Structures are given as C-alpha cells and as structure tokens.
Structure 1
Amino acid sequence: MRSFAVLLQKEEAALFSAPIAYVLMTVFLLIMGYSFTLTLFLSHQPSMVHIFFQMFVLFGLTAPLITMRLFAEERKLKTLEVLLTAPVSEVAIVLAKYVAAMSLVVVMLLLSTAYAAALAWFGDPDFGPIYSGYLGLLLFGSALVSTGLLASALTANQVIAALITLSVFLLLWIIDNFGWLLPSPADTMVVNLSLSVHFRPFAVGSIYLSDVGFFVSVTLLTLVLSVRALARR
C-alpha cells in the first residue's frame, strides 16, 4: 500500500506539474462556459442535458491528450525499465497512473458544477438529470482513461497513443449508426458497443445497470489488458 501511495504521488506530481493539465482545464471551462451561456439564453430552460452531450464529445477529444504520455513518456525517458525493476507490481503501476489521470477528469467535472450552481441560483432545475449526467460522465471518463492507458502501454509514441484512443472513441461513438444496417442479431450486438447509446440515458436522467455495467466492464477490461501489456515488457 505504501508503494502504491508513492507511485500515485509521483504520477499526480508529474501530471499537475505539466502545463497541458492546466491548458486542458482552461480550454474545457471556456468552451463549456460559452456553450452553457449560449444554450441557456436560447432555450430559457434550467437544464444541462445539451451541456452533458457536449461534455461527452469534449471528453472524447481531450482524454487522449491526458493519457498519451502515461507510459509512452516513460519509454521515451528510459525510466520504464527502472520502474519495472522496482519492488512494485504491474498492477500498482497501472492503477497509480489510472487514478492520477482520473483525478484530472474529476477536477474538470467538479469545476463544471459551477454551471449547475448557476442554474440553482437563477432558477429551479430538476437535479435528478444533473446527478445522473455527472455520474454518466464520470463512468464515461473512466472508460476513456483506461482505454488511453492501454494505448499508451502498447506504443512508445505519444502521438500514436493519442490517435489510437481518439480513433477508438470516434468508432464507438458512431458505430450505432451503422449497426442498425446489419441483420439481426448482429445489429443489437454492434449497437450495444456504442458509447453514445449507453451515455444517453444518463444525460436525460435515467440510470440503468446495463449502462453502468458497460462502462465498468470497459474500464476493468482495458486495465487488465494494460497490466498484461506491461508484464510482457
């Protein structure tokens, strides 16, 4: 447990000492703040449904930038071999990097709650969809971070790692549009791989165990594969 805490502290320091973390948070808040203000003035409704869908897309575009350096940079700096020979397990290494990256996602989500606070100050919003929307974004962010972690574990190039993660997100974002064209039961199987299909209920205030299980399963599967990829080095 002590070794994990040391690894986590190291990863947190590396992440939040890099300017990219603050650039991502600033860009995220500026874009979402503009979108929130514009949507509120146009719709005149105290709702964050549209904002959640926009956060969904923005998370998909920014998560690769958070995760691309996690292992790829270690290889570039020739520190991965030192890390692997230290008295720590591959599981601890993977979990430390995952938790550190998720901490940035959580900070971004916490900062965005200012929009919900503004709705509560000026109106009377239904907080049910707001709570479920943030839960959905947290689960979605977890799946993205773990997928990006796996991509970074498989390549030594940060750009390639980011492109792999982005490609997976884009494919699983639009895959339901092609799934409906397939014959049964292949159509159902393909549609159920869609990230947007599983996120949509959260954004509108519904929580289904199948959607929670999907994001948790993706997270666990990719973390296990990351550990195996690291162990084979």
Structure 2
Amino acid sequence: MRNVLAIIERELRAYFISPIAYVVLTIFVFLSGIFFRTILSQVMQMGLISQMQAQQLGPRPMDMPGMISRGFLSTMSVIMLFMIPMITMGLFSEEKKRGTIELLLTAPLTDLQVILGKFFAAGSFFVILLLTTWIPMSVLYIYGSPASGPILTAYLGLLLYGLSIIAIGLFISSLTENQIIAAVISFGAIMVLWLVDVMAGSAESTTKEVLTYLSILSHLDDFTKGVLATSHIIFYLSLTLVALFLTYRSVDSLRWRG
C-alpha cells in the first residue's frame, strides 16, 4: 500500500508541475459554467411557457431543478470524453518517451502497484474535476430545493463512468510512447463504446440488447435519472477491471521485452 501511495503522490506532483492539469481544469470549469448557464436559461424559458399554458390548460407539475441537474450532468459526461484522454495520455507513454519506464519497472515495485498508483492518481484528479461542477450546481441549492438523492446518484454514475474511461486510457497509454496518439486512440475507443447505443437503435432485438448493454452511455442514463441499479454498477466495475487487467498484461510484456 505504501508503494501505491508513493506512485499516486509522484503522479499527482507530475500533473501539477506540468501545464496539463491547469489547462484541463480551466477548460473544464469554463465549459461547465457555460453549459450550466445555457441549460438554466432553457429550462427557465420552458418554465415560463408552461406557466402561460397553465393559465389556459391548468397547472402541470414541472421539476425544474431536476431538469437542470439532469441536463447539466449529462452534458458534463460528454465533456469528460474529451478531458479524460488528456489526463491519461501520458501515464505510461511519457515514461516510455523519457526512458524512465525501465527505472520504474526495475524498482522494488510490482507491476500491479505501478498500475494502481497511476490509476488512482488519475482518478483523484478526475474527482477534483467532478468537485468543480458543484460550483454551478450550488446555484440550485441557493435558489431552490432540489432532491439530493437523484443528484448524488448521478454523481456516483459519473464517478464510475469516469473511472472506467480512465482505465481504458491507462491501457492505451501503455501501448505507445506518443502522448498524442494515446489521447486520440483513447478518445476513439471511448467513442465506440459511447456510440454503440446509437447503433442499437437500428439493430434487431437480440443485437440491440447486446449493443445497449455494451454502451457506456445507456448505463449512465439511468444514473442521471436517479435510478441506482446493481447491473449498471457491475458493468462499470467490470469494464474498469478488464481494462486494468489488459494494462497489467501490457506492462508485464514491457518488463519481459526489457
């Protein structure tokens, strides 16, 4: 455990010494503010229209805080598709480029400790990104009384979703020494898992069920609605473990080739 913590500290220090952490944080906070404001304006307009219609057709219940939080957090999941590959692209590829991967693999550390240290470091930085979304979300609590249960469930879904993407990015970073290539391939792989839900729409029944299950988007959708299902948690944990196992095999092959 001490070795894993040492790797986590090393990687977090590397994030904040380089500009990448500040670039990602700045872009993410800026975009979250822009999209929250846009979604807030749209929902308020819908609320005004609903009030006007209520005068003629009678009142209709409208959960404006819920609509805002669902729209905002769903949008943030799309932004994360672009941000997370930037977090993971250098985890192993930069080590290869600098030639420090040999030092790391010959140190008194196991491959699993190295992988977990890098994974949890990237995961910690991702949690920081998630926490920044509470800045605009706090507006809902200041001016309203949103239901906290569905919001917390949505955040749990985003956390599991993000960790699974990080594991995929970590694996791809272990395959190349070029950070840009690692980021592009990671983004492409994640997009495939994201878009299979779209392909499922035109597929036949059995194929549709398989594609829908493989989509990281379909599982996240229920979380953003406040639905906490064991099957969704198992999916994200399984995807994360598979990606970490592939990373382990990749790093192990580096040790043998070295």
The alignment's TM-score, normalised by the length of structure 1, stands at: 0.96
1:107 maps to which residue?
A: 128
Unpaired segments ≥5 residues, structure 2: 45-63
Q: CA RMSD in A?
A: 1.2
Of 177, 191, 202, 1:156 maps to 177
Q: Which amino acid aligns with 1:99?
A: F
User: C-alpha deviations, 1:114-155, integer Å up to 9, x for none?
Assistant: 222211011111212211111111001000100000000111
Cα distance in 2 between the residues matched to 1:48 and 1:166: 25
Q: CA deviation at 1:12?
A: 1.2
Q: Which amino acid aligns with 1:39?
A: I
1:19 maps to which residue?
A: 19
Tell me whether 1:208 sits opposite 2:256 in the alignment. Answer: no
Tell me whether 1:118 sits opposite 2:139 in the alignment. Answer: yes
Range with greater deviation from structure 2 (167-176 or 137-146) = 167-176
Q: Which amino acid aligns with 1:15?
A: Y
Which structure has the bigger radius of gyration?
2
Q: CA deviation at 1:17?
A: 1.5
Cα distance in 2 between the residues matched to 1:160 and 1:42: 38
1:35 maps to which residue?
A: 35
Q: Which amino acid aligns with 2:225?
A: V
Mark the CA change 1:42 to 1:181 in structure 2 (over 3 Å): closer, same or farther: closer
1:147 maps to which residue?
A: 168
Residue identity over aligned pairs, in percent, reads 36
Deviating runs (4+, > 3 A) in structure 1? none
Of 138, 149, 154, 1:133 maps to 154
Tell me whether 1:75 sits opposite 2:96 in the alignment. Answer: yes
The alignment's TM-score, normalised by the length of structure 2, stands at: 0.87
User: Contact conserved, 1:15 with 1:100, CA < 8 A, in 2?
Assistant: no
Q: CA deviation at 1:184?
A: 3.7
Unpaired segments ≥5 residues, structure 1: none
User: C-alpha deviations, 1:182-207, integer Å up to 9, x for none?
Assistant: 33422211221111101000111111
User: Contact conserved, 1:150 with 1:225, CA < 8 A, in 2?
Assistant: yes
